[in-house]
Structure 1
């Protein structure tokens, strides 16, 4: 695997993984403070429209800027990349202010459009939506700075700023909700409003760190301008046009998860009530699918996000230089490593769904069943993210939009009949079919335009599934044995089962990879050196 891609992916994966793990772990004390599932519904009530407005506010411009900076740097036109960045800053400030005002002002309409469960009033929903809207003032500019560094293949600032943003957000969230609930003796709505406002506080801390990185590295970036070829002259209007046209696919693809969640938010509760499910069970299903499960399945999805962020500028640079063989090598490596890691991770989550759900939330038969069904869909989400990044890197981003729209159409058409057939599980099945449709379409487009063969990847995928099945036999046997002595319905014992079974499964899978010399083929000399250090022949 290319050293730049491997290093960049590792740095971004580490930063994103730490951020996501923190984003899951805080749920345990947060639930304890606010009192369980129903307040979490109100929290998610504000976050779903916020995610959509955030996608509109950033409009895919940070990744578009990263792509174009990489493109012009490959042409040694460094000044054009700098002008793109400056132009993007003004655009992000403007869009952030406009989207903040729109979300704040439209809060009553947004609250009425959604189905607010748990006995909360319309005014409660409006308050929560408005509290989270303030983050829109900061995050667009912050995201642009991350895109700027990624365009220079510098992933460190993005990774560190993600971790800082999450740490500050969680500290403010937990401290704020605790003070409201137990020191000031306030109500849940105020506590949830503080929790959603924490997005602004975390983003502000991240922005300050990124500005520090920028001014620290500015002398080196300025020296690159002295080596500028100066043969490309682009007007400001043309720059704006290029950024916006390139950003449209990024915004649409970046909104994929939010759009799928919105379909669930608008339809899941209503259809379940229509077929006679009790209001209490409806509330539980909606909270599990739109909040609980989403948190857990994003752990394997982290790798796909990191690959996507590292892949776009690298593929763009190689494609601009017409290094098509290099592009094919990068794609071959990325798809294989992605599947090598996500397949066992997703099925591992499915196998340990019961103790995982107990550790992070509370013992739940429904939560366990829904997580078991949803976990493998993270494989499709990972493929979707990386396939979209590839198409954007080779300037065929129009197909990413079409692929997503086909998936959303499949989800929308199948949502109601599948829920009527399988209750809440039907919504998850519809999501899986939607992502599968998108993935198949985009992979066929990649095959056509890059002239890329998936034969080796398909053979390796069969091998990865076989290795995962063997790992599963070991994990399930150990899980059954431990559950005879340790309860999966109590947090500490469930955590112990998760760590032991998950750890043994990971070691067994890793041993098989080393024994079959897959580590050598996937990770090159690094994998070989590690295998030899472990004395596995």
Structure 2
């Protein structure tokens, strides 16, 4: 098995495991600190992501690329220089932004947010910035050497430590107030990331063939060319991520102020935002694991066809990917919409987030398309266009949230509609951008077929849950009904020939599973 294939499989398995563990993490947080605590946690978290994005500057991708090139040439000195320059850059930025976040926390909570209790989670999460800075450099180094195990194992360690400590720390701090419990959850995240870093650092010390500390400052002074090489890759790749981070940073701020204009008290706004982002969205994003993996396999396949100017092959591969997204996205929509109430009841102990699942699930088909479409844009050297599309979507999303959420008739539902409006627009813009380069046929018949399948399987799934095994426990009824719904869905999909086996075996990611 090639290093590339082995590394891809390892990363996919790790991504799947960490996605599940991350979901369990959200459930644990919700169970211990409830909607209000989750709201405080989720309102503070985007600020951290923005600071981390600025601190990293897209360096992990650049490190991976440059280390791989230096490794191929056997240039150990170049690898050391890449590490030294990257560490000095990220640590230097983290030294600036970590105290800045702590010092600005009172301003952020008093002026930008409407709930001053967010101060405690913000301050509690600040120490994670330098930890993530070093971790990102080591991950880039290992990936550049096509050694995916340390990165994969570290992610699993991080989630396991985080889940364990969240249960302990939130329970310990809860008697002092919900804001302290939310801060405890943040501290658990810091310690989880620290455990991950310690594992990677230990692995790095055992595997490296050079001494990083020797002539460290001298390497920094002589690293101007290396810095320019890293930035030439890092800055363009961080564009879309920066737009997403800035948009996410403003999202809870806009939601909080909009709900205040609608007459919603700060405490209730925090609770409602917790239901939306901490309860409903993790469930809606969970199925995207499949389409994200598919997108990763599309980049080399489309790049190869584009280099050979085989545009018909590009269309063929993209059509296959879109049909597969339609199939997997369709069943996700059915399950999340039909079983919204029992899923919420089983996982979080209440049904408060179910209304968001029902409102947003039908629109998430667009989100499941977005990953493969963005992968195609990257493969066609249209990353700049993808970034502009993301910027337009972020601006419109924020505007829609403000307009709708500030109306009493919509309230927090306006925020949910704004979020789906944003990614629907980005997906459509990606599609239109691709159409300008690649002629693409839209098969209306497939969308009619999948609509029929969704309606039939959704109705039968709802009927089975309401009328079969009514004497059994909720978990047994739900599990039975979901399995039955999936069987009905895929049987009708096969009968209507929405996706053929021959199509699936030609997609690299799916082929490895089927064969």
5 Å matches for 1:66-215? 66=64, 72=69, 79=75, 82=79, 84=82, 87-117=85-115, 122=116, 124-151=117-144, 155-181=148-174, 186-214=176-204
Give the CA deviation at 1:150.
4.1
Deviations 1:404-444 (A, max 9, x none): 11112212332233332533222222222221222222233
Partner residue of 1:519 out of 480, 501, 515: 501
Go from structure 1 to structure 2 and tell me whether the alpha carbon gap of 1:259 and 1:507 turns closer, same or farther (over 3 Å shift). farther
Is the CA contact 2:36–2:267 (under 8 Å) kept in the aligned structure 1? Answer: no
Deviations 1:232-266 (A, max 9, x none): xxx95454334334434543433565444444412
Go from structure 1 to structure 2 and tell me whether the alpha carbon gap of 1:153 and 1:339 turns closer, same or farther (over 3 Å shift). farther
Q: 2 CA distance for matches of 1:341 and 1:91?
A: 42
Out of 55-64 and 185-194, give the one that drifted further.
185-194
Q: What is residue 358 of structure 2 aligned with on the other side?
A: 372
Out of 268-277 and 287-296, give the one that drifted further.
268-277
Deviations 1:350-383 (A, max 9, x none): 221111111222333x521112122344433343
Give the CA deviation at 1:304.
4.3
Is the CA contact 1:285–1:424 (under 8 Å) kept in the aligned structure 2? Answer: yes
Is the CA contact 1:153–1:310 (under 8 Å) kept in the aligned structure 2? Answer: no
Partner residue of 1:48 out of 46, 49, 55: 46
Give the CA deviation at 1:394.
4.5
Out of 170-179 and 470-479, give the one that drifted further.
470-479
Give the CA deviation at 1:132.
0.4
Go from structure 1 to structure 2 and tell me whether the alpha carbon gap of 1:343 and 1:253 turns closer, same or farther (over 3 Å shift). farther
Go from structure 1 to structure 2 and tell me whether the alpha carbon gap of 1:266 and 1:398 turns closer, same or farther (over 3 Å shift). same
Q: What is residue 417 of structure 2 aligned with on the other side?
A: 429
Q: 2 CA distance for matches of 1:387 and 1:530?
A: 22
Out of 325-334 and 352-361, give the one that drifted further.
325-334
Deviations 1:281-335 (A, max 9, x none): 53432222232222222212333444556666x479848x935559937655554
Give the CA deviation at 1:484.
5.6
Out of 245-254 and 131-140, give the one that drifted further.
245-254
1:499 aligns with 2:479: yes
- Name the SS of the counterpart of 1:106 in structure 2: helix
Is the CA contact 2:401–2:415 (under 8 Å) kept in the aligned structure 1? Answer: yes
Q: What is residue 297 of structure 1 aligned with on the other side?
A: 284
> Runs of 4 or more off by more than 6 Å in structure 1?
2-7, 456-459, 525-532
Q: 2 CA distance for matches of 1:211 and 1:462?
A: 53
Deviations 1:71-95 (A, max 9, x none): x489x65649846555434333333
Q: What is residue 340 of structure 2 aligned with on the other side?
A: 353
5 Å matches for 1:267-282? 267-277=254-264, 281-282=268-269
Q: 2 CA distance for matches of 1:255 and 1:414?
A: 20
Go from structure 1 to structure 2 and tell me whether the alpha carbon gap of 1:460 and 1:160 turns closer, same or farther (over 3 Å shift). farther
Alignment size in residue pairs: 495
- Name the SS of the counterpart of 1:26 in structure 2: helix
Q: 2 CA distance for matches of 1:258 and 1:251?
A: 10
Q: 1 CA distance for matches of 2:287 and 2:225?
A: 39
Give the CA deviation at 1:145.
3.1
Is the CA contact 2:41–2:121 (under 8 Å) kept in the aligned structure 1? Answer: yes
Go from structure 1 to structure 2 and tell me whether the alpha carbon gap of 1:389 and 1:476 turns closer, same or farther (over 3 Å shift). same
Q: 2 CA distance for matches of 1:335 and 1:140?
A: 36
5 Å matches for 1:7-26? 11-26=10-25
Is the CA contact 2:275–2:353 (under 8 Å) kept in the aligned structure 1? Answer: yes
Partner residue of 1:407 out of 387, 390, 393: 393
Go from structure 1 to structure 2 and tell me whether the alpha carbon gap of 1:261 and 1:352 turns closer, same or farther (over 3 Å shift). farther
- Name the SS of the counterpart of 1:480 in structure 2: helix
Q: What is residue 214 of structure 2 aligned with on the other side?
A: none
Deviations 1:47-97 (A, max 9, x none): 121122122222222134445666x489x6564984655543433333333
Q: 1 CA distance for matches of 2:153 and 2:223?
A: 32
Q: 2 CA distance for matches of 1:255 and 1:462?
A: 37
Out of 86-95 and 396-405, give the one that drifted further.
86-95
Q: 2 CA distance for matches of 1:311 and 1:281?
A: 43
The TM-score, its normalising length taken from structure 2, stands at 0.81
Give the CA deviation at 1:100.
1.8
Out of 275-284 and 432-441, give the one that drifted further.
275-284
Is the CA contact 1:356–1:494 (under 8 Å) kept in the aligned structure 2? Answer: no
Q: 2 CA distance for matches of 1:155 and 1:334?
A: 26
Out of 136-145 and 512-521, give the one that drifted further.
512-521
Q: What is residue 231 of structure 1 aligned with on the other side?
A: none
Q: 1 CA distance for matches of 2:110 and 2:301?
A: 44
Deviations 1:218-239 (A, max 9, x none): 57x9xxxxxxxxxxxxx95454
Go from structure 1 to structure 2 and tell me whether the alpha carbon gap of 1:442 and 1:428 turns closer, same or farther (over 3 Å shift). same
Deviations 1:510-537 (A, max 9, x none): 45566657334213499789889xxxxx
Is the CA contact 2:333–2:361 (under 8 Å) kept in the aligned structure 1? Answer: yes
- Name the SS of the counterpart of 2:382 in structure 1: coil
Go from structure 1 to structure 2 and tell me whether the alpha carbon gap of 1:422 and 1:178 turns closer, same or farther (over 3 Å shift). closer
Is the CA contact 1:474–1:505 (under 8 Å) kept in the aligned structure 2? Answer: yes
Go from structure 1 to structure 2 and tell me whether the alpha carbon gap of 1:52 and 1:367 turns closer, same or farther (over 3 Å shift). same
Q: What is residue 432 of structure 2 aligned with on the other side?
A: 444
